């Protein structure tokens, strides 16, 4: 079957073949016991040094998450959404991005932010209520956290379509071809926005990878209520390929995402990746999962921990103990840095609110800002906030 | 010395109970070591220590509920307090703000002392720290936007603050809210009621004769007549002639609820109201075939027990005029659809106040649904001349143990659960019959397919 698509550089529709099929079999390259296994189509392309480097990311991301959670309990953050248990899905996919690619996160992608080089302290402002974002999306290649469930899949698709129009797809130049990576969860898969994003991405063969972290719980709603079939099967209905991967296997996630991103960059269209993982923590610090889920289920997933299997593998390789102790020290320092940074986050200058509305200067808004600043300056201020 | 103030751990919580301390005075704690369990309106939460050092005081005993912002533990160290950052700046911030105000503007301080809960980072700060004095507010003219703001405030101030229902209450009584004295900034219902009560004597007109009459002593006296009188007589006669026994059973009626949903979408039932009560009515009719003694009457004069030929199913209905119990003659011979139609007609007639006395006589068994009032169960009193009455409680989502007892599939899950109570006349039947009847009704509601076995 062929479908006409609009591709950049050619104003006439050209037929392309329907992309690869949907595979519901779980791709795994590293078992929970820490054993490497072969897969007929996917392979981790790094050496053991890169596995160590991935492990460092996993461990530090877990520390960031743990520390931010504690900061919320200290009363320093209004809220925190833990990524505990999903580190491999986030780090594995985040590390598959190239600098010219662009990630569109939910509010839980702390591991992706880490991979994009964002200082984790910058994640805290939003959750402390002193920031509207925290980082420069253009500079980091990562959009701001999206609180609206599933909205970012539309942003990603739009961005991917823009890449096509900028001629940044399928040129064969590895420094130029780019893709968008849209993160969402099993709960968002039921949202209308996600459906629309899938339709647009498919219709325009947009270079976007839909990366679903199926963590089994949409707050208190179990996966079984979201879908009667594996989520990855939905891709078939939209006409693009899908792959199901062990989301707690950082090597498999990396390999699968890398392949999907490359297909996108090459102009072969979207892919749905279903990373099967588990939300080990609460939905957010305001949630109490013991009210709706069985502790036995959590216990079962604890045996599939994304960090433990990499550690087992590395210890099998006779990785020196110093590697682990040094990493622990690095994590402790990172924790101290986060606590310090959180407490010294400045109160917001509300005047800055006006700056992020339009890309270019806007006279009406400039007048409003001037008026507001005059009003603010009519107060005796020491702190700067008004 | 650092004090840890009770944080708001759940987006807008105002208080929490200290459940369990995991540390004692003298213990040395590390940052993020769990020190206490608290219970909020949402859940039980472990709090990690923000400080490292020696615990010098537990400031809130276990079992005590305190507002967010209350210092709960003091932590210091032998080498001096390890005080990170925010705690010290918080203390300083408060001190300087207070100092400034007491020096420059003592009048504001008392009003500004009100503690203002804030979401994060600082527990609770005093409102005064946020309320900065405007530059030259008293001396020079305020800038334009300030003036505009003040103008708006002044306009708002001319209107008394009150919630909409209180406004309506005042309006209905012709009360100007500005005249109502109140303690706080907001006029409450109690304020308005007190105001109305205070001025009551003058405008009181002649009360309509049929309405409740305010007696001299302030109590209200309501003449007993009509439905109230009939109900009173019936209840006295029943309660003090028939020795009542009440039994009840709590059961999972999820299957009944599913059946109700299925019937609702069935085209044949399109025009009628399908409710759990309909299934209960059918179940009662079926159960009475096995225990006809419950569909009977005690004849005192002849010293006989009269087993009724048919089930005239009474349904208690609360109406504007009071309780009425019309019945459906021959309910046991009706199909489910006919029963649904009869029930719908009966309730509509009762609600409209058009139930005829004939429709209320000759009943043989009654169903009363107290669940509609949001309660779980009751001990119903027999309709005089009848032997049984079934009381249906509210059908509610409850935790329920399902699966094989002790098996791997055993678990607690939310189910539709209700409580049925049956009262019977112990002159006519014994616990055996009463219990069998109740168990039969329950079995059908638990699994409507069992209706096939009756």
pLDDT the model gives residue A385: 47
**Is A5 domain-assigned?**
no
Residue A367 has pLDDT above 50, yes or no: yes
Name the helix (H) or strand (E) containing A224.
helix A223-226
Residues B168 and B251 grouped into a single domain: no
Residues B54 and B195 grouped into a single domain: no
**Is A10 domain-assigned?**
no
**Is B205 domain-assigned?**
no
Residues B78 and B112 grouped into a single domain: no
Residues A211 and A255 grouped into a single domain: yes
Q: Residue A321, Cβ neighbours under 10 Å: how many?
A: 9
**Is B328 domain-assigned?**
yes
**Nearest CB to B8 within list A75, A335, A339:** A75
pLDDT tens digit string along B241-273?
899 999 999 999 999 999 999 999 999 998 899
> For A19-45, what is the mean pLDDT?
91
pLDDT the model gives residue A34: 96
A74 with B134: Cβ contact below 8 A: no
Residues B435 and B336 grouped into a single domain: yes
B84 with A74: Cβ contact below 8 A: no
pTM: predicted TM-score of the whole model, two decimal places: 0.58
Q: Residue B409, Cβ neighbours under 10 Å: how many?
A: 7
pLDDT tens digit string along B180-204?
888 778 888 888 888 887 764 443 3
Residues B184 and B58 grouped into a single domain: no
Q: Compute the distance between CA of residue B82 and CA of residue B30 in angstroms, rounded to an integer.
A: 11
Q: Compute the distance between CA of residue B416 and CA of residue B362 in angstroms, rounded to an integer.
A: 34
Rg (CA), chain B: 34
Q: Compute the distance between CA of residue A282 and CA of residue A236 in angstroms, rounded to an integer.
A: 32
Q: How far is A368 from chain B (nearest CA, A)?
A: 11
Q: Compute the distance between CA of residue B308 and CA of residue B318 in angstroms, rounded to an integer.
A: 27
> For B149-156, what is the mean pLDDT?
40
Q: Which long-range contacts (CB under 8 A, 24 or more apart) does A34-41 make?
A: A34/A308, A34/A309, A34/A310, A34/A311, A34/A312, A34/A313, A34/A315, A34/A316, A35/A313, A36/A251, A36/A313, A39/A252, A39/A255
**Nearest CB to B134 within list A76, A340, A379:** A379
**Mean pLDDT over the full length of chain B:** 80
Q: Which residue has the tokens 């206490």?
A: B36
pLDDT tens digit string along B46-95?
999 999 999 999 999 998 999 999 999 999 864 444 444 444 333 333 33
Residue B109 has pLDDT above 50, yes or no: no
Contact B367/B316 with Cβ under 8 angstroms?
Answer: yes
Which is more confident, A6 or A99? A99
Residues A102 and A207 grouped into a single domain: yes
Residues B185 and B237 grouped into a single domain: no
**Is B274 domain-assigned?**
yes
Q: Compute the distance between CA of residue B35 and CA of residue B54 in angstroms, rounded to an integer.
A: 12
Residues B288 and B157 grouped into a single domain: no
**Nearest CB to A74 within list B7, B43, B411:** B7
pLDDT tens digit string along B2-17?
899 999 888 888 889 8
Domain of B318: which CATH number?
3.30.559.10
**Is B242 domain-assigned?**
yes
**Is A272 domain-assigned?**
yes
B143 with A72: Cβ contact below 8 A: no
pLDDT tens digit string along B292-327?
999 999 998 889 999 999 999 999 988 877 888 999
Residues A367 and A276 grouped into a single domain: no
Where among B182, B199, B216 does a domain terminate?
B199
**Nearest CB to A378 within list B8, B43, B146:** B146
A292 and B CB contact within 8 Å: no
Beta-carbon contacts of B189 under 8 Å, excluding residues fewer than 6 positions away, are: B163, B165, B166, B169
Residues B177 and B326 grouped into a single domain: no
What is the tally of structural domains in chain B?
4
B92 and A CB contact within 8 Å: no
Residue in A closest to B148 by C-alpha: A375
Alpha carbon separation from A316 to A48, A53, A325 (Å, rounded): 11, 16, 17
Residues A306 and A358 grouped into a single domain: no
What is the tally of structural domains in chain A?
2
**Is B212 domain-assigned?**
no
**Is A30 domain-assigned?**
yes
A296 and B CB contact within 8 Å: no
* Contacts with B19 from chain A: Cβ below 8 Å: none
- Strand, helix or coil for residue A128: helix
B452 and A CB contact within 8 Å: no
**Is A50 domain-assigned?**
yes
pLDDT the model gives residue B382: 93
Q: How far is A212 from chain B (nearest CA, A)?
A: 27
A332 and B CB contact within 8 Å: no
Residues B293 and B394 grouped into a single domain: yes
Residue B136 has pLDDT above 60, yes or no: no
Contact B386/B363 with Cβ under 8 angstroms?
Answer: yes
Beta-carbon contacts of B158 under 8 Å, excluding residues fewer than 6 positions away, are: none
* CB-based burial label for A372 (10 Å; 0-12, 13-18, 19+): middle
Residues A217 and A254 grouped into a single domain: yes
**Is A91 domain-assigned?**
yes
Residues B236 and B191 grouped into a single domain: no
Which ipTM was obtained for this model?
0.81
A74 with B4: Cβ contact below 8 A: yes
Residue ranges of E strands in B22-179? 28-29, 34-39, 44-48, 53-58, 65-67, 71-76, 115-117, 124-126, 161-162
- Strand, helix or coil for residue B6: coil
- Strand, helix or coil for residue B35: strand
* Contacts with A297 from chain B: Cβ below 8 Å: none
Instruction: Please give the residue range of the domain that contains residue A125.
Output: 20-343
* Contacts with A293 from chain B: Cβ below 8 Å: none
A340 with B85: Cβ contact below 8 A: yes
> For A127-141, what is the mean pLDDT?
92
Name the helix (H) or strand (E) containing B260.
helix B254-264
A380 and B CB contact within 8 Å: yes
pLDDT tens digit string along A267-323?
999 999 999 999 999 999 999 898 899 889 999 999 999 999 999 999 999 999 999
* Contacts with B411 from chain A: Cβ below 8 Å: 294
DSSP A216: S
**Is A185 domain-assigned?**
yes
Alpha carbon separation from B261 to A226, A264, B280, B371, B443 (Å, rounded): 22, 47, 15, 19, 19
Domain of A288: which CATH number?
3.40.50.970
Domain of B71: which CATH number?
2.40.50.100
Q: What is the largest CA-CA distance in chain A?
A: 71
Instruction: Please give the residue range of the domain that contains residue B372.
Output: 227-453
**Is A4 domain-assigned?**
no
Quick one: CA dihedral A200, A204, A206, A212, positive or negative? positive
Residues B149 and B248 grouped into a single domain: no
Residues B101 and B26 grouped into a single domain: no
pLDDT tens digit string along A163-182?
999 999 999 999 999 999 99
DSSP A166: T
pLDDT the model gives residue B424: 96
Q: Compute the distance between CA of residue B5 and CA of residue B59 in angstroms, rounded to an integer.
A: 10
Residues A353 and A338 grouped into a single domain: no
Residues A209 and A354 grouped into a single domain: no
Contact B74/B27 with Cβ under 8 angstroms?
Answer: no
């Amino acid at each position: 079957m062929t479908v006409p698509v609009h591709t950049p550089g050619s104003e006439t529709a050209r037929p392309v073949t329907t992309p690869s099929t949907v595979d519901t079999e779980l791709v795994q390259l590293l078992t929970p016991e820490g054993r490497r296994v072969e897969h007929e189509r996917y392979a981790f392309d790094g050496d053991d040094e890169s596995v160590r480097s991935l492990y460092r990311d996993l461990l530090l991301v877990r520390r960031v998450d743990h520390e931010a959670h504690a900061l919320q309990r200290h009363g320093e953050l209004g809220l925190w959404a833990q990524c505990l248990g999903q580190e491999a899905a986030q780090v594995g996919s985040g590390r598959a991005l190239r600098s010219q690619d662009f990630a569109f996160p939910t509010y839980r992608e702390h591991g992706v932010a880490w991979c994009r080089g964002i200082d984790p302290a910058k994640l805290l402002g939003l959750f402390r209520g002193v920031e509207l974002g925290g980082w420069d999306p253009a500079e980091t290649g990562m959009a701001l956290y999206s609180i609206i469930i599933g909205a970012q899949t539309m942003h990603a698709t739009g961005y991917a379509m823009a890449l096509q129009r900028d001629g940044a797809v399928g040129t064969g130049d590895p420094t130029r071809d780019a893709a968008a990576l849209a993160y969402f969860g099993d709960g968002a898969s039921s949202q209308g926005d996600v459906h629309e994003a899938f339709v647009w991405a498919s219709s325009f063969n947009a270079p976007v990878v839909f990366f679903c972290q199926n963590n089994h719980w949409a707050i208190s709603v179990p996966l079984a209520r979201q879908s009667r079939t594996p989520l990855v099967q939905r891709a078939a209905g939209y006409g693009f390929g899908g792959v199901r991967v062990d989301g707690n296997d950082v090597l498999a996630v990396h390999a699968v995402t890398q392949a999907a991103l490359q297909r996108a960059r090459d102009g072969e269209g979207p892919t749905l990746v279903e990373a099967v993982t588990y939300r080990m923590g609460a939905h957010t610090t305001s949630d109490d999962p013991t009210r709706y889920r069985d502790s036995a289920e959590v216990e079962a997933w604890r045996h599939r921990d994304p960090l433990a299997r990499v550690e087992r593998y590395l210890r099998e390789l006779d990785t020196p103990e110093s590697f682990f102790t040094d990493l622990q020290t690095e994590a402790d320092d990172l924790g101290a840095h986060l606590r310090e940074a959180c407490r010294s986050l400045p109160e917001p200058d509300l005047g800055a609110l006006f700056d992020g509305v339009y890309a270019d200067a806007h006279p009406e808004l400039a007048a409003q800002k001037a008026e507001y600043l005059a009003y603010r300056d009519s107060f005796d201020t020491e702190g700067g906030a008004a | 010395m650092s004090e840890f103030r009770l944080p708001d751990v759940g987006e807008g919580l105002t208080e929490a109970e200290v459940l369990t301390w995991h540390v004692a005075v003298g213990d040395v704690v590390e940052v993020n070591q769990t020190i206490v369990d608290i219970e909020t309106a949402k859940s039980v939460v472990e709090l990690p220590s923000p400080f490292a050092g020696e615990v010098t005081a537990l400031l809130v005993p276990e079992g005590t509920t305190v507002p967010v912002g209350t210092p709960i533990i003091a932590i210091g160290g032998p080498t001096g307090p390890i005080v990170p950052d925010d705690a010290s700046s918080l203390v300083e911030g408060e001190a300087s703000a207070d100092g400034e105000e007491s020096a420059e503007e003592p009048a504001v301080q008392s009003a500004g002392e009100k503690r203002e809960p804030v979401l994060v980072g600082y527990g609770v700060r005093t409102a005064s720290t946020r309320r900065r004095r405007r530059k030259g507010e008293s001396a020079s003219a305020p800038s334009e936007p300030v003036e505009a703001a003040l103008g708006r405030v002044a306009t708002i101030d001319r209107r008394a603050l009150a919630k909409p229902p209180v406004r309506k209450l005042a309006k209905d009584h012709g009360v100007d809210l500005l005249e109502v004295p109140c303690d706080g900034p907001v006029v409450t219902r109690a304020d308005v009621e007190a105001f109305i009560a205070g001025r009551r004597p003058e405008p009181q007109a002649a009360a309509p004769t049929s309405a409740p009459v305010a007696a001299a002593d302030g109590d209200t006296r309501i003449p007993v007549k009509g439905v109230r009188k009939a109900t009173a007589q019936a209840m006295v006669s029943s309660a003090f002639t028939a020795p009542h026994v009440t039994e009840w059973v709590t059961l999972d009626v999820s299957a009944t609820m599913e059946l109700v949903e299925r019937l609702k979408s069935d085209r044949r039932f399109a025009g009628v109201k399908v409710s759990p009560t309909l299934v209960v009515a059918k179940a009662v009719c079926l159960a009475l075939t096995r225990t006809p003694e419950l569909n009977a009457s005690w004849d005192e004069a002849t010293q006989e027990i009269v087993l009724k030929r048919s089930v005239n199913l009474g349904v208690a209905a609360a109406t504007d005029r009071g309780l009425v119990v019309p019945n459906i003659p021959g309910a046991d011979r009706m199909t489910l659809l006919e029963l649904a139609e009869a029930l719908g007609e009966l309730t509509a007639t009762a609600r409209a106040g058009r139930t005829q006395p004939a429709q209320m006589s000759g009943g043989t068994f009654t169903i009363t649904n107290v669940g509609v009032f949001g309660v779980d169960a009751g001990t119903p009193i027999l309709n005089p001349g009848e032997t049984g009455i079934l009381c249906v409680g509210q059908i509610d989502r409850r935790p329920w143990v399902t699966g094989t007892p002790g098996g791997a599939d055993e678990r607690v899950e939310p189910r539709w659960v209700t409580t049925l109570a049956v009262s019977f006349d112990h002159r006519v039947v014994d616990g055996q019959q009463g219990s069998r009847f109740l168990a039969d009704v329950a079995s059908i509601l638990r699994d409507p397919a069992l209706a096939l076995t009756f």
